[in-house]
Amino acid sequence: MILNEREERHEHLLWVARQMMTAARTAPKGKGIDVIETIAVTGADIQLLSDTMRQMYEENGFKFFLRDADNILSAEVIILIGTREQSQGLNCGHCGFELCADRLPDVPCALNTVDVGIAIGSACAMAADLRVDTRVMFSAGQAAQRLGWPEGCHTVFAIPVSASSKNPFFDRKPKEEKKNEE
């Protein structure tokens, strides 16, 4: 049997994505309570995510949304890692409120946010061990959150994954705004 890497790449990256999601799942969690959700986005859903990022650029004017919208189209798969809201009841004050009971409904529990960061680090470490290219993206995570991916989550980040001769997620040029020519 002869396997050509170019022909096997997509299936391999799906396997890598599964390993990354497992790494995120097994990452340490505050109080041992698992509020992390991970999903993998492929195919036409990557285009939908990119289109949503373009729409968000039109609304917020942040050029990196437009740059990243083009950039994620180089990914074979995108891992999304988010957290469901659940107060950990520690009254730690890291969210800005002395008591958990005083925290406003739209202020996330700081421990949930830390858990997302640890899960991201674990997933990216797995990707590095498997020698694939990644980059953590706030912009694509915000767009995913707008789409409701992963369901019921907030504080979502995206990790596009690629295996090519050069990491497409670094050394990127900022997207220029189109100038009106009158």
Write down the pTM of the prediction. 0.92
Q: How far apart are CA 10 and CA 77, in angstroms?
A: 9
Per the CB < 8 A criterion, the answer to whether 81 and 120 are in contact is yes
DSSP helix/strand/coil, 69: helix
pLDDT of residue 10: 96
pLDDT of residue 170: 87
3, burial (CB in 10 Å: exposed 0-12, middle 13-18, buried 19+): exposed
Q: How far apart are CA 90 and CA 100, in angstroms?
A: 7
Give the closest residue to 169 by CA, choosing from 129, 126, 130, 140: 140
Q: How far apart are CA 78 and CA 139, in angstroms?
A: 13
For every one of its 182 residues, what pLDDT tens digit does the chain have, with 9 covering 90 and above? 999 999 999 999 999 999 999 999 999 999 999 999 999 999 999 999 999 999 999 999 999 999 999 999 999 999 999 999 999 999 999 999 999 999 998 899 999 999 999 999 999 999 999 999 999 999 999 999 999 999 999 899 999 999 999 899 987 666 565 544 44
pLDDT of residue 180: 45
